[in-house]
Amino acid sequence: MATVPIRRVTAQAVSHAIISAAMKAYSELGPGLLESAYQACLQHELEVAGFRSANQVGLPVVYRGVKLELGYRMDLLVEDLVIVEIKSVDGISPVHQAQVISYLKLSGKSIALLINFNVVHLKDRIKRFVNREWVEGKSKPLTTKGTKVHEGNLVADNVADNFLTSPR
């Protein structure tokens, strides 16, 4: 009986694949559709590329040691490593960024992508959030007190320009 090697991928490699898949889906569909359409097409592209993903993944809140199922849902979780929040709106607002930051904290994941498909150029509206505390292997998640997008252990950046110019 042959054994199948276990494929190990990094969150960085997964985020690169997600951006590639998002650009393929956007090239085919363009702007103006519902988030659910982009989510389904992005998930299909990821599947074709050989990446596992789950959609509408429940995210409980743990408050004072009690696990509360409050209906929070991550749009996509790819390879159990990277959170993807999909939008199709006129512009990303601070509340959208706060949502992604909260999902990173609650899930303990290290990388999340916020992708707005309702734009002329998709590369201009992909934002990556990195929870450095988890990337560096520390054992406890960030607290919710005083966290801002560009401070402390949480960093947000626009990734598509680097993605488009980096060698593959």
Q: What is the mean pLDDT of residues 15-43?
A: 97
Place of tokens 């509360």: 68
CB neighbours of 38 closer than 8 A, spacing ≥ 6?
22, 25, 26, 29, 86, 88, 115, 117
- Tell me: pLDDT of 15 over 70: yes
- Expressed in angstroms, the distance from the first to the final Cα of the chain is 35
Q: pLDDT per residue over 124-158, tens digit each?
A: 889 999 987 655 455 444 333 333 444 456 667 67
- Tell me: pLDDT of 123 over 70: yes
- Tell me: pLDDT of 163 over 70: no
